Amino acid sequence: MIQINIKSWQQAKANDGLDRKHTGWVEGMTPEEVYEAARGCWPLGEQADREKFAVVVHKGVVRCVIEIDRIDTTSEDGRRAIVGRPVKAGHPFHDRWYAMSAPSDRGGGSITYIDDTAKPV
């Protein structure tokens, strides 16, 4: 599983790669808005291609759970973005991770690969 650590709501960089206006998290966002704000553009390695889920974390709390379809390259420097969808309540990964403490304590603006089998169901 990929843990995407995001910062607070902010204007996206001009060369965003996904043509977003904003990135990050703010209270009241829908799961789809969190997905769009957090899905890229990251320096994702080959391991990302084998992952099926990602959690989006802001200030130590899981704010969105994403099922990954694929990882696309979005820039000439090799940055990549997740293509998938947020999963909803009732989905096993959503119910296991949503609103829980982050699996890793790394801060905003970073990627961490998590052994998602380590947390008891």
pLDDT at 119 over 70: no
pLDDT digits 0-9 by tens, 59-86:
999 999 999 999 999 888 888 999 999 9
Tokens of 120: 């008891």
Q: What is the mean pLDDT of residues 84-93?
A: 97
For 22-90, what is the HEC assignment? EECECCCCCHHHHHHHHCEEECCCHHHHHCCEEEEEECCEEEEEEEEEEEEECCCCCCEEEEEEECCCC
The confidence score (pLDDT) of residue 6 equals 92
Burial of residue 86 (CB within 10 Å: 0-12, 13-18, 19+) is: buried
Residue with tokens 């996904």: 18
The confidence score (pLDDT) of residue 120 equals 53
- Radius of gyration of the chain measured on its C-alpha atoms: 13
What is d(CA 39, CA 54) in angstroms, rounded to the nearest whole number? 9
pLDDT at 4 over 70: yes
Average pLDDT, the chain: 90
pLDDT at 44 over 60: yes
What is d(CA 90, CA 33) in angstroms, rounded to the nearest whole number? 20
pLDDT digits 0-9 by tens, 101-118:
999 887 666 899 998 765
CB atoms closer than 10 angstroms to residue 74: 17
